[in-house]
Chains A and B, each alone.
Chain A
């Protein structure tokens, strides 16, 4: 599978093999997670130490971030091979049907937590910052950072998912 793709371009540029692509995906996912975490901590620390306005970060701003982190933990802890196998075999194994349903429900919960995290941060940005005329930048930056943090965690979860699926394809082509 990999050797057929190897001389695709004329330039001395090799398509990354799926193992190194997987590694890079996981590294990038970790870096994005760190970026999200520190972006959120930035708005919290800024509100505490360098705030020029009377608007402060309260627990409301923490809620979307907690949703995102929890959702990512749920989505990443699902065993995706199980889900894939059930999708492929499409219910011929009746014994694994209940676990497939459990996996679907839990995965749905995780994704909805992620989505509610990002939409919640947008709601906080609009209701707490924009509607109350805090539209100048150093104050608005706290809300923007919150949205960026949730976005980075969503992207991190996506990269991790992509990385694990790349690995699964690789294993599939190896074991057959």
Chain B
């Protein structure tokens, strides 16, 4: 994070991009009168949740992490669920398109909108958590 951007600008930009993502998904539903793609919003809103729940003692920022077995299992579960949710969020519109539930414009808009929403949430947490934790992350060669 070499560039210094004021937090207000970050918040405004991110909220604009988030609104763009929601716009894409809602448009993909409303243009074709077919509201199946709304499930994708649900999946992508759930996707950052496991890391947020289990990743609080992430990496080595807290001591006593090495031998704490249950904490690391929870973290593994969080990573697994994140991968599962992100991949299913990408695959859901494709599967719906393949089984003729939605058409291909709708599928494209849903995938891009969902990815925009997810990346917004990830960047948001990264911007506002990263200011304290970047040193630790760089130190341990993540």
**A residues bordering B, Cβ < 8 Å?**
2, 14, 17, 19-20, 23, 26-35, 37-39, 41-42, 45-46, 48-50, 81, 160, 163-164, 167, 171, 174-175
A14 to B87, CA, bound (A): 27
Interface size band for B: 20 to 34
B91 touching A35, Cβ below 8 Å: yes
A19 near B142 (CB under 8 angstroms)?
Answer: yes
**Distance of B62 from chain A, by nearest CB (Å):** 14
* B80 beta carbon closer than 8 Å to chain A: yes
Contact between A38 and B80 (Cβ–Cβ < 8 Å)? no
The prevalent SS among residues of B at the interface is helix
State in angstroms the CA–CA spacing of A81 and B73 once bound together: 12
Contact of B95 among A2, A26, A41 (CB under 8 A): A41
The residues of B with any CB-CB pair to A shorter than 8 Å are: 59, 66-67, 69, 72, 76, 79-88, 91-92, 94-96, 98-101, 140-142
Q: Within the complex, what minimum Cβ distance (angstroms) separates B57 from chain A?
A: 13
B101 lies within 8 A of A49 (CB): yes
Q: Are B85 and A34 in contact (CB under 8 A)?
A: yes
Chain A positions within 8 Å of B94 at CB level:
38
